[in-house]
Structure 1
Amino acid sequence: MLVYQNFDTGNWEVLLNTAAQAKINLSNHPAADIHPRLNRGATHVLFASNRAGNFDLYVMKVDGSNLTQLTASAGDDVNPVWSPDGSKIAFESYRDGQPEIYVMNADGSNQTRLTVSPDFDGMPTWSPDGQTIAFSSRRTGGYRIYTMDAATGPTKFSDLHTLIAFLLHGHLRETLFILVLILIMIYGLMLYTYLRLIFIPLHKYLFQ
């Protein structure tokens, strides 16, 4: 089962591919629906939509029913991601004028800002044990990957060099770290580089 965003109709929609390869439009709305995430139990889909004005976060059952709005901030809320146990959601928010990392309960309650930076902090990803959040940041100039404690937020930052050291010395050895460098060409010659860390348990496969 796979959920993804699709622009075939000229509008961003959230689609579901079933085991039988059927394509189902889950969002089916004239607004833009983006960044879908399926929870671990494959029962609910989390996504961002601008159907109420700016981008907010929504959740629905995997059949498209029981749509619930989780955020309603003055700025865009995008790039949501479930915690491994499904109890928390980390996301990127522009509600304070610049992109920062927030975390909230799965029902939208207790929305808490974790990062404080004069520049971009976004694209969060959880570690398999739910204790660490990795994210992309431009706080030191160029885009780099940082990690922080999911509970204490900005009190424990470590950059990519520290992360590699952890890996080489056996820390977090239950996890395979894959660094993905995505180059996106926007507005002609302007190139944006996004660094994102993906945590994948060693006993899982990328392709099945």
Structure 2
Amino acid sequence: MRGAINVPSARCSAVLACAVAIAAGCTDPPTRARAPSPGAPLFARGGEGAGPPQSIAFYSNRDGNAEIYLMDPDGSDQTRVTVHPASDVEPDLSPNGQSIVFTSTRSGNADIWLLDLRTGALENLTNTTATEGWPRWSPNGQQIAFQSNRDGNFELYVLDLRTRELTRVTTYAGVDQYPEWSPNGKTLVLRRDMDVWTLDLRTGALTQLTTHPALDQMAAWSPNGKQLAFMSLREGYCSVFLMEADGSGQVNLTPKAPADPASAWCSRAPSWSTNGQRILFMSLRPGTGGSAEIFSIAPDGSDLTRLTTAPGDDGMPTAR
């Protein structure tokens, strides 16, 4: 886990320790990735003008530091799209697949950056001395929600890309992080302190969905808006859970093997495929060589599939 920028440790014990600190304040596809030359124009994957439907954006440090990559839903055609010595993490593809927002330290601190996949043009959307991260596109592609501590503690903000108007949407003395838009664009799901909440952007009404003493966070809506996948530490290790949109029916989708120590398992940062038939997530577990890799699983917990096998950490997948 992290404050706003998240370059995860491969050790689950470190992840657990960081989560506590924040709270207090299968098939193996090919993984050889193409990398653009520094300064070279980016090309569109799968055709002229944009990436193909259901591309997956993710970060990887396989080349020595965290960069943004794209791949197809089956894990093939892994393509590096950023080249910078700083850390680039937390990518989210635009609804039309033509741009990526991500968190980067290339300006000296964690800011939100916009990358045009057609031209390679980059823009720093926040450009402050604060720590900002977890950018997420609105369903209509006109706004970006993100977290920032620019006002002293982590709150949620929405940036209108047409007018560049910035709106602070939470005001809370604790921690508000990990915003995700509902499919209709009217609600954000978020972490508030130790639990998952929703925020109605029209009325400001907040609803608490989880009440477990352990940390619950990183929630993501299913495409039909009926379910939420989220990360929980309630079993003693980070695991991906599923619940109904009203908070009922919470179930662990990624339980560890009973004989394994909790420190050997950590599954988190879930997101959904565009058709709602798969949940993507990053996971450290026996067999991943001490690093996090990207997996997908059916919402009923069946058909676990590993999508990356490269050395180093791969994580934070999002699909369009």
Q: Which consecutive unaligned segments of at least 5 residues does structure 1 have?
A: 162-173
Does residue 147 of structure 1 match 2:201? no
Does residue 116 of structure 1 match 2:171? yes
- Contact kept, 8 Å, 1:43 with 1:61, in 2: the verdict is yes
In 2: Cα distance, 1:176 partner to 1:70 partner: 32
- Contact kept, 8 Å, 1:121 with 1:135, in 2: the verdict is yes
Q: Secondary structure at the match of 2:69?
A: strand
Change (3 A) 1:200 1:28: closer
Q: Which residue identity is paired with 2:181?
A: W
| Aligned residue among 5, 10, 25 for 2:64 | 10
Does residue 87 of structure 1 match 2:142? yes
Does residue 49 of structure 1 match 2:104? yes
Change (3 A) 1:63 1:95: same
Q: Of the two, which has the highest radius of gyration?
A: 2
Same amino acid, percent of matched pairs = 27
Q: Secondary structure at the match of 2:100?
A: strand
In 2: Cα distance, 1:146 partner to 1:196 partner: 16
Change (3 A) 1:38 1:47: same
| Aligned residue among 42, 49, 61 for 2:116 | 61
Q: Secondary structure at the match of 2:63?
A: coil
RMSD: 3.2
Tell me the TM-score normalised to structure 2 length: 0.51
Q: Which has the higher contact order (CA 8 A, sep 6+)?
A: 2
Q: Which residue identity is paired with 2:196?
A: I
Change (3 A) 1:3 1:101: same
| Corresponding position of 1:36 | 91
| Corresponding position of 1:169 | none
| Corresponding position of 1:177 | 227
Q: Which residue identity is paired with 1:204?
A: G
Counting matched residue pairs gives 185
In 1: Cα distance, 2:226 partner to 2:64 partner: 37
Q: Which consecutive unaligned segments of at least 5 residues does structure 2 have?
A: 1-54, 211-223, 239-261, 279-295, 299-320
| Aligned residue among 138, 144, 156 for 2:205 | 156
In 1: Cα distance, 2:162 partner to 2:79 partner: 25
- 1:106 is displaced (CA, Å) by 2.6
Q: Secondary structure at the match of 2:97?
A: coil
Q: Which residue identity is paired with 2:57?
A: V
| Corresponding position of 1:171 | none
Q: Secondary structure at the match of 2:226?
A: strand
Higher strand proportion (structure 1 or 2): 1
